Structure 1
Amino acid sequence: MASPALAQTPAPTTRSVCLTPPALAMVWTGAGRPHETVAVPGVGLGAGETLVQIELATVCGSDIHTVEGRRAAPTPLVLGHEYVGRVVDVAEGVRAVDGAVVQVGDRVVWSIMASCRDCDRCRHGVPQKCRSLVKYGHERIQPRWELTGGFATHAHLRDGTTIVRVGEALPAEVLAPAACGSATAWAALARADEVVDVDDATVLIMGAGLIGLTACAMASDRGATVVVADPDPARRALATRFGAAQAVDPTGRRALDSALAATGAAEFDVVLEASGSPRAVQAAIDAVGVGGVVVLVDSVFPSDPVPLDPERLVRGLATIRGVHNYTPRDLGGALGYLRHHAAEHPFVELVSARYPLAQVDQALAAAAAGKAVRVAIDPRDAQRRR
């Protein structure tokens, strides 16, 4: 099993790759400080590694939490873990999730993390919790591995990264969020499916952000009846376009009861909490029916604890599951879903603001304002200017 120390050390260099003009990375050095531009003239490509030129990156909520100081992060680092790009160099024998050899020119989405594939956690099916995990957009930059996140012109992918070839048909705005939000939505439904058949379920989704909206579309396309709860009327209107049978303001228990009654179901079989609000987490646990499952996906930053009534959970045969990130199968499943169903829902509209790479601070501020479901950062402007 690889040790955590080894996880931070790039693989032995097999080839030096010169980048002319140099790659550019926007480096975050701490809360309240503007990003700094770092030029990277080359990388040492090790065994199992890939160099990708980034086409588009999107801002995830955890990026905002980091820059606002709500979660700890090592500095300096390159933020960003939702992205799509094109392979410009690759070590021999690197394979995509479908088993095909990755080649220069492939358009790809890659996972938020690289795992060792050999520790106890990897062998037990939770590689996202690998003992020597490396996460893009979360690691301190270091010599020979500066291109560590999505807010850059290029990304240097480590051995153990899940790579999915995505072809040319889907817009970058649909593909980039798959590396975190869409894959997490798929993972949440997959874990729920292990308890309750989602195809025939009545599903409550708390929060109409990217994860909630994507999960709504995925579940409704499978035949589930979906209720979405969100305090923002614009988000509720959007939820109906993603397949929600009901979209309600969750203020007060009566709103959820009325929405459930309107579906004709007796209780919620699946409750997916995708906002991270402690109040919403409590509401999710309170709302689940007998034999149902609550899946928590967005409680990824420090918050107030939530009271728990163990007797109700025991007598109600309830299951509570936490989903953080995803497995390689989940990323492949999410992208497969988008390949076949993205045109049926307004996924492309979820990215409603776009900024050049040099304006990453403005992009983060726009994302924090919450008007756009996703804000994009386009590094191609920086590449064209050089």
Structure 2
Amino acid sequence: MKITGAVLEEIGRARPYADSRPIAVQELELDAPGAGEILVRIEAAGLCHSDLSVVDGNRVRPVPMLLGHEAAGRVEQLGEGVNDVRLGQRVVMTFLPRCGECAGCRTDGRLPCEVGTKANNAGELVGGERRLHRDGHDVHHHLGVSGFATHAVVNRNSVVPVDDDVPADVAAVLGCAVLTGGGAVINAGHPAEGDTIIVVGLGGVGMAAVLTAVSLGHEVIGVDAVQEKLDRALELGASAVYSPSELAESGVRAPVVIEAAGNARAFEAAIAATAPGGTTVTVGLPAPSATASVSPLGLVAEARTIVGSYLGSAVPERDIPRYAQLWREGKLPVEKLISSHISLDEVNAGMDALADGSAIRQVIVFAE
């Protein structure tokens, strides 16, 4: 079938992307779903730093690649052997499918699926196939989703069904920002009742961590260099906010600190702000060459722990329904994370907004 999608043609083009246009919105061919796969009509897709990191070269992936990994849509066709979702059902896309059998899948979310990771790195679906084509040549899949398109074929394990009452834009954000930020709090931070939580880096993932921590009744402190994001964190329920320099000067520390900036200096700030006996959770993805300085003595003398958390140490089929229920109960107003709705044609400018730090979550909305 013919679809329209946003294809990254070249990694590392100069900014502004609105001028250099590394992403081309164009017509492609999409195969029918194979065994264990489904066809989804995309309704909404969020722009995330994991997309930007491919555009700017911090995460090298094969190109041409149809980007987008945070999305939601309706099931339109079932491949052979898929009988546990129904046609027309709304599903949340998740960018790390789980085979359920490998060593990573046996860690209850702590480690990613080995099979899914291998497929993602190769730009394939889990079965080793590429269902996207252009002018007779394959186009690579992004993290098993490729959600910046009118339709996508994905492995069944790349989606989690949600009820129709969850709006498409909210459902999309559940699949990455909330899954990652919320999971950093719940699955990796394990805060005790009454613990204060500091969140360093207030992009989509960091704001989701703030929102989740507030929904669970914790006092939350937000840290970011952008004043508008500090203001938004207060609107979402943070009790206090600091710039990085203000945090260092204040001496404020907390038993759980989430680093969601993907920056080595932010990681150092998060460690410094962790109280004795506390846990630093790092969920941001810095450049592969980034390094940070840590005092081993401080870790030992204060019995502190540093935890790496990929995708919020999540098991999507377990965690997404939980976040959806918190949203349904009015405790997790995910829609407040969405800073704007844009069209697919605005995707290059959207990447500029991400790089500038001026957006929290931009969501591409597709017409029926």
One fold, TM greater than 0.5? yes
Inter-partner Cα distance in structure 1 for 2:152 and 2:231: 36
Q: Secondary structure at the match of 2:342?
A: strand
Query: Deviation of residue 361 (structure 1)?
Result: 2.0
Q: How many residue pairs are counted as aligned between the two chains?
A: 345
| Per-residue CA distance 1:332-359 (angstroms, 9 max, x = gap) | 4245324433745653243233332233
Inter-partner Cα distance in structure 2 for 1:122 and 1:288: 30
| Per-residue CA distance 1:246-266 (angstroms, 9 max, x = gap) | 112221445443xx4xxxxxx
Inter-partner Cα distance in structure 1 for 2:108 and 2:331: 32
Inter-partner Cα distance in structure 1 for 2:132 and 2:111: 21
Match of 1:318 in 2: 304
Select which of 77, 80, 94 maps to 1:89: 77
Match of 1:374 in 2: 361
Identity of aligned residues (%): 31
- Aligned pairs for 1:95-114 (under 5 A) are 101-114=84-97
Q: Does 1:177 align with 2:157?
A: no
- Aligned pairs for 1:195-344 (under 5 A) are 196-197=191-192, 199-257=193-251, 260=252, 267-326=253-312, 329-330=315-316, 332-341=318-327, 343-344=330-331
Inter-partner Cα distance in structure 1 for 2:188 and 2:97: 25
Q: Secondary structure at the match of 2:39?
A: strand
Match of 2:3 in 1: 23
Q: Secondary structure at the match of 2:66?
A: coil
Compared CA separation, residues 128 and 27, structure 1 to 2 (3 A): farther
Inter-partner Cα distance in structure 1 for 2:288 and 2:209: 24
Match of 1:6 in 2: none
Task: Specify the code of the residue in structure 1 equivalent to 2:91.
Answer: V
Select which of 58, 65, 74 maps to 2:62: 74
Structure 1 portions without partners, runs of 5+: 1-18, 96-100, 261-266
Match of 1:152 in 2: 149
Alpha-carbon RMSD across the aligned residues, in angstroms, is: 2.7
Structure 2 portions without partners, runs of 5+: 14-20, 134-140
Q: Secondary structure at the match of 1:44?
A: coil
Inter-partner Cα distance in structure 2 for 1:110 and 1:134: 16
Inter-partner Cα distance in structure 2 for 1:41 and 1:190: 40
Task: Specify the code of the residue in structure 2 equivalent to 1:208.
Answer: L
| Per-residue CA distance 1:57-116 (angstroms, 9 max, x = gap) | 111012112112222111111111111100001135536xxxxx2000001102112233
Inter-partner Cα distance in structure 2 for 1:90 and 1:346: 32
Compared CA separation, residues 219 and 126, structure 1 to 2 (3 A): closer
Select which of 341, 347, 350 maps to 1:354: 341
Inter-partner Cα distance in structure 1 for 2:25 and 2:110: 32
Inter-partner Cα distance in structure 1 for 2:353 and 2:160: 29
Inter-partner Cα distance in structure 1 for 2:26 and 2:119: 17
Query: Deviation of residue 201 (structure 1)?
Result: 0.8
Task: Specify the code of the residue in structure 1 equivalent to 2:315.
Answer: R
Inter-partner Cα distance in structure 2 for 1:57 and 1:273: 24
Inter-partner Cα distance in structure 2 for 1:172 and 1:238: 23
Query: Deviation of residue 217 (structure 1)?
Result: 1.8
Inter-partner Cα distance in structure 2 for 1:224 and 1:373: 22
1:214 touches 1:242 (CA, 8 Å); kept in 2? no
Query: Deviation of residue 285 (structure 1)?
Result: 0.9
Match of 1:4 in 2: none
Task: Specify the code of the residue in structure 2 equivalent to 1:76.
Answer: P
TM-score of the superposition, structure 1-length normalised? 0.80
Match of 1:43 in 2: 31
Task: Specify the code of the residue in structure 2 equivalent to 1:269.
Answer: P
Compared CA separation, residues 301 and 78, structure 1 to 2 (3 A): same
2:199 touches 2:220 (CA, 8 Å); kept in 1? yes
Inter-partner Cα distance in structure 2 for 1:339 and 1:135: 32
Match of 2:16 in 1: none
Greater radius of gyration (CA)? 1
Inter-partner Cα distance in structure 2 for 1:200 and 1:211: 22
Query: Deviation of residue 164 (structure 1)?
Result: 2.1
Match of 1:166 in 2: 162
Task: Specify the code of the residue in structure 1 equivalent to 2:174.
Answer: A
Match of 1:9 in 2: none
Inter-partner Cα distance in structure 1 for 2:104 and 2:342: 38
1:208 touches 1:239 (CA, 8 Å); kept in 2? yes
TM-score of the superposition, structure 2-length normalised? 0.84
Tell me whether 165-174 or 292-301 shows the greater mean CA deviation: 165-174
Q: Secondary structure at the match of 2:315?
A: helix
